[in-house]
Amino acid sequence: MTALVLLDHEAGSIKQPSRSAVAAAQKLGEVHVLVAGAGVQAAADAAARLPGVAKVILADAPAYDHALAEPLAALLVALAPGYSHLLAAATAIGKNVMPRAAALLDAQPISDIAGIVDADTFIRPIYAGNALATVKSADSKKVITVRAASFDPVAAEGGNAPIEAAPAVETPSMSRFVSAELSKSERPELTAARVVISGGRGMQSGDNFKLLEPIADKLGAAVGASRAAVDAGFVPNDYQVGQTGKIVAPELYVAVGISGAIQHLAGMKDSKVIVAINKDEEAPIFQVADYGLVADLFTALPELAAELERS
């Protein structure tokens, strides 16, 4: 059995969620990886250095720039005959592309797996993580997205796989990239950070998110948010943690001014240690918090910044 993993890459490196997808694929058999894009030799070189990868397939063509779903799904379908499993991390790209490829292969995708029982059987969360379903696929080819937070990523270095060019595939021209407006941040990415500090509606404004910054600086943390904070325009959409946002499982998650709705918990309750700061002692977030501080965030956050500075 050989598995093919579609990798997310950026500026010549492989994104951490994809390294988790490679780790998941290694439980299934030999692993090949696919790097697609325009001018992406450096990313293919980085993919070749991932430990445990037997082959890198490089699809370097203008059509694959910006990872549009239509050409990428066509490429995956062209490569599919060599593989028993096609995987990608459950990132915006993986979620966009893999179901499209699955339909073309007449397969039911297995989305967001959190565990692998055997080559046909997988564990995936349903109902915002309130239940875990073990499902067995009857399809001859499995098309899978991987919940990165559930699999320890393979290292970025250590391998030395050969790189092979992908065959030319006819690309549909019904979609076109227009522009991107990406949030700039010096901080680690939410899905890769060791510490995440998130703010909710209790933060009251985008300006007040600055109160999280000295703490995030000190802890090397990524900054996240609840849906309410995103909807209110305090922070951009890509900060959202939850059932329908990003799934994170850092060593430490700090929830500030977040009530703890199930949709939010779905995105962070597998964190190793959870801290909640909330002025309402009845807030449901305290039911999952290892350490709860009942306090007004506007006094607690400056205190916390000072305390971390001191120590």
Partner 1 sequence: MKILVPVKRVVDYNVKVRVKSDGTGVETAGVKMSMNPFDEIAVEEAVRLKEKGVATEIVAVSMGVAASAETIRTALAMGADRGILVETDVDLQPLAVAKLLKAIVAKEAPNLIIMGKQAIDDDMSATGQMLAALLGWPQGTFASKVAIEGDGVTVVREVDGGLETVALTLPAIVTTDLRLNEPRYASLPNIMKARKKPIETLKPADLGVDPAPRLTVLTVAEPPKRQAGVKVGSVAELVAKLKTEAKVI
Annotated binding site: 201, 226-227, 240-244, 257-264, 278
Binding mask 239-258 for partner 1 (x = CB under 8 A): ----xx-x----xx------
Contact set for ligand FAD, span 212-241 (CB under 6 A): 226-229, 240-241
Buried b (16+ CB within 10 A) or exposed e, 81-98: eebbbbbbbbbebbbbbb
* Cα angle 116-120-125, degrees, rounded to a multiple of 5: 45
- Asked if 110 is part of the footprint of partner 1 (rule: CB under 8 A), the reply reads yes
Options 11, 131, 162, 207; binder of partner 1; rule CB under 8 A: 131
Options 78, 261, 288, 293; binder of ligand FAD; rule CB under 6 A: 261
Contact set for ligand FAD, span 161-220 (CB under 6 A): 200-202
Left (φ > 0), alpha (ψ -120 to 50) or beta: where does 73 sit?
Answer: alpha
Give whichever of 73 and 228 is closer to ligand FAD, judged by the CB atom. 228
- Asked if 283 is part of the footprint of ligand FAD (rule: CB under 6 A), the reply reads yes
Options 2, 27, 52, 69; binder of partner 1; rule CB under 8 A: 69
Contact 115, 123 (CB under 8 A): yes
Give whichever of 131 and 162 is closer to partner 1, judged by the CB atom. 131
Contact 21, 49 (CB under 8 A): no
Binding mask 39-78 for ligand FAD (x = CB under 6 A): ----------------------------------------
- Asked if 168 is part of the footprint of partner 1 (rule: CB under 8 A), the reply reads no
- Asked if 289 is part of the footprint of partner 1 (rule: CB under 8 A), the reply reads yes
**Long-range Cβ contact pairs of 171-178 (< 8 A, separation 24 or more):** 171/61, 171/63, 171/70, 171/71, 171/74, 171/75, 172/70, 172/71, 172/74, 174/70, 175/68, 175/69, 175/70, 176/68, 177/65, 177/66, 177/68
Residue positions forming the annotated binding site for FAD? 201, 226-227, 240-244, 257-264, 278
